A = this chain, B = another copy of it.
C-alpha cells in the first residue's frame, strides 16, 4: 500500500458568504491548497468532491467534473463522493485509496456546501432529514435536531450529567472559534451576552443564565437550545494528497494520513443497543488506531463532529479519550480545552467554525494539518504531533475517523 501525505491545505472563510456561489467557494479552497502544495504546474490525476446536496441547494450535478474544468485540471479523473454530513471524510478516504492503490499520485480533495441563500423555512432541515429511515423515522416527523434532543435527554439521565456541561462544550468551542479567522462565529458566548446587554435585550449574571433565557437562546429540540446546535454555513476546504514517495519535490512539512476507518450502524436509531453509544465510531476509530499503530493516549488534538454539542461529549468517549458517560463532565472540567488533557475542536468545531455540510470533514483535517505543522497561531496546541477526526454521517449510521501525524 502506497503511503499518503497531505502536502497542501486550503480553507475559505466559513459563514454567510453572500457574494460567492458553490463553485466559487470550491475553487477558492482548491486554489489555496494547490498553492500551499507547490504543485501549481503539476498534473493532477484525480479530483474528489464531497458535497452533500449541490443538486438541491445549487441546481448543479456533476460538481467534480465542473470543478476540474474551472481549475483547468482536465483530463484529471473526477467524482463526487456522498455520505451526508460526512461527505468530506468520505472524499478524503476516496483520495487516500486512489493513491494507496497506485492508481493516482497526486489527488485534490475538496469539500464544500453553499446553504445560507436558502430562505424557504424548513427546506434544509427536511432535506437533511432524507438521511433518516424513510419508513420507521421520517413519516413520524423526526429530524436530526430532534434525535439530538432525545440523545441529550437519554445521556443526561443515564450518566447523571448536567445540561450546563453540554453548554460548556459550546462555550469552549466559541472561545476557540474566536481565535480562528476562518470561523463562522469569531465571538465567545460572553461576547454574545455583552452585545445583548448593550442592545438592552436583558441582563444576566452568568453565561448559564444567558443560555437559559428563551428570548436569547430559544429551545430548538428540547432540551437543546440555539447555542447547543451548529449553524448552517457556506464554505469549502481542500487538501492536496500525494504519494509519500514523491513529496520531496513539493514539500518539507508533509503530514501523513496514517490511519483511516469507516463503519456503519443501524439506519433505524431505535434498533441500536444503546442510543448513547456510537458503535460506528468505536469501530472506525479502532480501525484508524490499528492502521496507524496508535492508541487514544497518543493523540494530541482532535476535531470531532459537534453538529449538536451533545455529540462532542459522546464522541469524546467512543473515540477512546474518556470512559463512557464522562465526556460531558471532562469538558466541564476543562480537559478538552486548548492546553487541557486532550484539546478537542481547537478550530471552534462545527458550532463556531460553522458547518457547510460537505466541507466539514475536510476542514477537520485541514485544522489538524495546521496544528501538526505548528501553524495554528493563537489556537495552537503546543507540540501537537498526532491528531484524529470524527466525521459523522446520517445520525451516526456512517462514521469516518482519520488519523494524521507528522512524518
Contacts and interface: CB of A to CB of B under 8 A. Distances in A.
Interface string A39-63: 0000000100000110110011110
Given A81-B81, A130-B55, A69 B264 contact: yes
A64 B131 CA distance: 11
Contact of A131 (B61, B260, B283): B61
Contact of A84 (B62, B76, B90): B62
Nearest to A134: B60
Contacts of A351: none
Which of A73, A74, A79, A131 has the most chain B CB within a 10 Å cutoff? A79
Contacts of A387: none
A66 interface: yes
Contacts of A81: 79-82
The A interface is mostly helix, strand or loop, or mixed, namely mixed
Contact of A64 (B46, B55, B83): B83
A62 B83 contact: yes
Contacts of A264: 65, 68-69, 73-78
Contacts of A64: 83, 398
Which of A62, A76, A133 has the most chain B CB within a 10 Å cutoff? A62
Given A75-B263, A76-B264, A1 B280 contact: no
Contacts of A62: 82-84, 130-131, 393-394, 397-398
B134 A59 contact: yes
A61 B76 contact: no
A217 B47 CA distance: 42
A258 to B, nearest CB: 13
Which of A78, A93, A103, A279 has the most chain B CB within a 10 Å cutoff? A103
Interface stretch (A206-214, A265-273, A310-318): A265-273
A116 interface: no
A100 interface: yes
A69 B100 contact: no
A101 interface: yes
Contacts of A277: none
A83 B65 contact: yes
Contacts of A397: 62, 65, 69
Interface string A217-242: 00000000000000000000000000
A133 B66 contact: yes
A40 B265 CA distance: 20
A94 interface: yes
A102 interface: yes
Contacts of A102: 1, 100-101
13 contacts: A61-B82, A62-B82, A62-B83, A64-B83, A65-B264, A65-B393, A65-B398, A75-B263, A78-B83, A78-B398, A79-B81, A79-B262, A81-B81
